[in-house]
């Protein structure tokens, strides 16, 4: 039997290809356009925000283009993301609220809106004439009725000094011990900024964020697609969940960081399995 290929044509510059997935160095839109229809269970998008930031070896100019060009680029990204999703698949878009509002209204014409998740923004900056910005938007859409959805539980917040619960759960205390249901406001997470905790110079997402994404919408042997893989946070979370991945980044340095991170993660898993066996 001929092995199924997800590609329209075999891609060039494949930097990693194993049973768990493939990582391509190249343009995000070209990567998506080369994928066949309805193959992905999750498409996760954490694109550059068009703020002139430096990623990998780029000098920042590639992340600072006229707004109309950026909007057109992202519309094409979103259109192809929807195309490659299976019916019931999940689309997640991580962005600034300003852009999330615009792009979300476009996606909602073709998909079912599920959640606007507010992810805490620490160490922000004041804007004259505006409220203090304190969150990023993580938009979650499904292609019709979700094929898979689980509501994760998280530990109840505790005081870092005394260790006691911050909230009074009254008569529900016995249920809280097993965790509380995840809401659409994530104040316990924030982009990784400190150099000692980052895998690249630019900010990166905390692994716990993408773990929650794949816990909510992932499934064993499913497929996650990420055209802006960055430091590889999404693909590590996908492999942890037993999913496969197809990923891409235009910066070869970012691709190498993702690959090394994935290899180390797989090695740790094998070591743990060997000890338990």
The CATH number assigned to the domain holding 257 equals 3.40.50.150
Could you tell me if residue 157 is inside a domain? no
pLDDT of amino acid 269: 75
pLDDT of amino acid 238: 97
**138: closest CA among 84, 185, 72?**
185
Q: Domain of 69?
A: 22-150+183-276
- pTM metric for this prediction: 0.90
Could you tell me if residue 159 is inside a domain? no
pLDDT of amino acid 197: 47
Task: List the pLDDT tens digit at each of the 277 positions of the chain.
Answer: 457 899 999 999 999 999 999 999 999 999 999 999 999 999 999 999 998 776 555 544 567 889 999 999 999 999 999 999 999 999 999 999 999 999 999 999 999 999 999 999 877 677 788 888 889 999 999 999 999 999 999 888 888 788 888 887 777 777 787 888 899 999 888 665 545 544 545 567 999 999 999 999 999 999 999 999 999 999 999 999 999 999 999 999 999 999 999 999 888 877 666 666 5
Query: Based on the structure, what is the number of domains in the chain?
Result: 1
The backbone torsions φ and ψ at residue 258, rounded to the nearest 5 degrees and listed phi first, read -60, -45
pLDDT of amino acid 24: 97
For residues 52 and 61, is the Cβ–Cβ distance under 8 A? yes
Q: Which CA distances in Å does 36 have to 4, 224, 225?
A: 11, 14, 12
Cα Rg of the chain, angstroms: 19
Could you tell me if residue 86 is inside a domain? yes
Could you tell me if residue 176 is inside a domain? no
Q: Which CA distances in Å does 228 have to 45, 49, 113, 158?
A: 7, 11, 22, 34
d(CA 241, CA 252): 26
Could you tell me if residue 15 is inside a domain? no
pLDDT of amino acid 195: 53
Could you tell me if residue 13 is inside a domain? no
d(CA 26, CA 14): 9
pLDDT of amino acid 114: 98
**227: closest CA among 74, 101, 106, 107?**
74
3-state SS record for 149-206: CCCCEECCCECCCCCCECCCCHHHHHHHCCCEECCCEECCCCCECCHHHCCCCCCECC
Can you say whether the dihedral through the CA atoms of 155, 273, 259, 140 is positive or negative?
A: negative
| Residues paired with residue 209 on neighbouring β-strands, in sequence order | none
pLDDT of amino acid 126: 76
Could you tell me if residue 158 is inside a domain? no
Could you tell me if residue 132 is inside a domain? yes
């Amino acid at each position: 039997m001929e092995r199924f290929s997800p590609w329209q044509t075999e891609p060039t510059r494949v930097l990693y290809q194993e049973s768990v997935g493939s990582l391509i160095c190249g343009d995000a839109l070209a990567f998506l356009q080369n994928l066949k229809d309805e193959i992905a269970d999750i498409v996760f998008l954490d694109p550059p925000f068009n703020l002139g930031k430096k990623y990998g070896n780029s000098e920042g100019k590639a992340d600072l283009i006229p707004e109309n060009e950026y909007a057109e680029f992202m519309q094409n990204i979103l259109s192809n993301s929807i195309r490659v999703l299976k019916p019931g698949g999940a689309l997640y878009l991580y962005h600034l609220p300003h852009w999330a509002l615009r792009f979300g209204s476009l996606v909602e014409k073709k998909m079912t809106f599920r959640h606007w998740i507010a992810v805490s923004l620490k160490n922000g900056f004041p804007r004259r004439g505006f409220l203090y910005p304190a969150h990023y938007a993580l938009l979650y859409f499904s292609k019709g009725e979700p094929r898979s959805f689980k509501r994760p539980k998280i530990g109840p917040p505790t005081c870092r000094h005394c260790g006691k619960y911050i909230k009074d759960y009254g008569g529900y205390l016995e249920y809280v011990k097993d965790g509380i249901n995840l809401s659409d406001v994530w104040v316990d997470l924030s982009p990784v900024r400190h150099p000692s905790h980052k895998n690249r110079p630019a900010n990166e997402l905390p692994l716990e964020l993408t773990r929650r994404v794949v816990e909510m919408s992932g499934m064993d042997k499913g497929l996650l697609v990420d055209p802006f893989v960055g430091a590889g946070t999404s693909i590590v979370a996908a492999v942890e969940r037993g999913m496969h991945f197809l990923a891409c980044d235009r910066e070869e340095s970012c691709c190498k960081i993702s690959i090394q991170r994935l290899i180390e993660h797989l090695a740790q898993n094998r070591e743990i399995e060997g000890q338990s066996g």
